[in-house]
Structure 1
């Protein structure tokens, strides 16, 4: 089967199975790069794709400066494509399965308490001085992520009907389009309630969505990227990236540091596999050990 037709068939299948537009774009970009590599090297049929073809492509990506995490993501996309070819009985075995993932030097960035205070105080000053909706909105976005750990796309799609102010929880559509209920603290519930009242006065009517733009319509992905970019430029932190995911990691970090069980953290973070949670807990376990060595009560006892 010609690779160019197989590639289009694969994308059509993903769309048919309701793969998100974001993931379709990822497939188009990352898998499309491999398809172009095959074309440039006169590999026109799926049956001609071998272990060596896949590995050589990824080695070239490495030479161009791709990080291990990027190469592993590309490998996953290629594997998914070739798995589909196996399902369609175009090939019998997926040659990419034998290609090993690269070891990643995982460093998960989190904010310090001082950095969090700086960001929140920055927005507080603007919203109190200028009565700015955008300062109030961006402040509430940060508080919501820090208080619940929800993801970027979940923030964008969060609706007022998803928030249960009586029982203090929010309903969100997470990865895999799974509907989940996340508990929130009374403190976050009060922050969202106050923000809701502000929005009603500011716009005159309440939008379906919690976080909106100037026109009272749903906030876009580009708008939230711009928000974090502007905040990053103002704060100018040297050792941490200002992003939605860093706030989510900070939420997870605080849970781990508090001594919460891995099972409870997995449920709050909504990791489908507890191994992901354990990776975080294991990493911050070193920090726990350092904190224990520094502050253990026995340090100052004459025994």
Structure 2
């Protein structure tokens, strides 16, 4: 079967299975690059693609500066593609199944208090000078990301009807589109209430969505990405990337540093797997140190 037709069938299958638009776009970009590479190297049929070709493509990406994380993500997409072809009896074996993931240095960026204050001060200054929605929205995005740890897609889809200021909660659609409850502090609830009043006065009609573009329509993945790219240029931080996910990491970092238990952090972060939470605890938490201090074998031995 021609590789380009197999790729089209795979994308259509993902759409049929109601895969999110974000993941569909990721498949098109990450898997599409592999398909283009194969065709450029005269690998026109799926049956012609072997393990060596998958490795060759990933080495090509590595040569272009792709990080180990990006290489592993591309490998994951290629594996999913060939698993689909195998299930459909289009190929007998998955050529990507024997390709090993790259070792990744575990380093998770977080913001310092100074960096957070710099970003907030930038938007406060804009608000004083311009009194614009753009400035207020940027300020509130930072405050909401930092105060809840919610994901980029969740904040894009957040509606005013999801915000319960009385019970201090917001309702989001998390991973796998599962409805989840996130807690608000009274400080954040007060900020959201004031922001709601501003939006009601600024726009002729209050949008259903909490965060909107200048034309009062829902923000997109691209619009929020551009916003944080602009903030990155303004701040020029050398040691950390300005992105929604860095705010999520920072939220988790503060929970771990406070001594909160791994179980509680898992619930607050809404991690499906406790192993993900333990990565944070291992790097930042004082829980392991406390357990070691309490149960170390030397405790009851005279030395």
TM-score, normalised on structure 2? 0.88
Runs (4+) off by over 6 Å: 286-289
2:158 maps to: 158
1:186 is aligned to 186
Structure 1: give runs of 5+ residues left out of the alignment. Answer: 290-303
Matched, 1:120 2:114: no
Instruction: Name the structure 2 match of 1:86.
Output: 86
- Match in the other structure for 1:51: 51
Counterpart for residue 14 of structure 2: 14
Cα distance change of structure 1 residues 79 and 286 upon mapping to structure 2, 3 Å threshold: farther
1:26 aligns with 2:37: no
**What is the match of residue 136 of structure 1?**
136
User: Structure 1 residues 69 and 197, CA, compared in 2 at 3 Å: closer, same or farther?
Assistant: same
| 1:257/1:288 contact within 8 Å kept | no
Counterpart CA distance in 2 for 1:42 and 1:248 is: 43
Give distance in 1, aligned partners of 2:77 and 2:162.
33
Distance 1:267 1:219, change over 3 A: same
Q: Name 1:195's counterpart in structure 2.
A: 195
Shift of 1:160: 0.2
Structure-1 residue corresponding to 2:175: 175
- Measured after TM superposition, the shift of residue 37 of structure 1 is 2.6
Q: CA deviation at 1:48?
A: 2.6
Aligned-residue Cα RMSD (Å) equals: 2.2
Larger mean CA deviation between 121-130 and 94-103 belongs to 121-130
Q: Which residue of 2 aligns with 1:69?
A: 69
Task: Give the drift of 1:115.
Answer: 1.3
Note the C-alpha offset of 1:100: 0.6
Q: How many residues align?
A: 291
Q: 1:54 to 1:236 in 2, by over 3 A?
A: closer
Q: Contact (CA 8 Å) 1:162, 1:172: kept in 2 or not?
A: yes
Shift of 1:114: 1.4
Change (3 A) 1:38 1:229: closer
**CA distance in 1: counterparts of 2:50 and 2:130, whole angstroms:** 62
The unaligned stretches of length 5 or more in structure 2 are: 290-303
In the TM superposition, residue 221 of structure 1 has moved relative to its aligned partner by 2.8
Distance of aligned partners of 1:61 and 1:257 in 2 relative to their CA distance in 1, 3 Å threshold: same
- Residue 254 (structure 1) aligned with residue 254 (structure 2): yes
User: What is residue 300 of structure 1 aligned with on the other side?
Assistant: none
State the Cα distance separating 1:74 from its structure 2 match: 0.8
1:67-113 deviation digits (Å, cap 9, x = unpaired): 21111011001100011011112223323111110001232111111
Note closer, same or farther for the CA distance 1:48–1:261 as it changes in structure 2 (3 Å cut). same
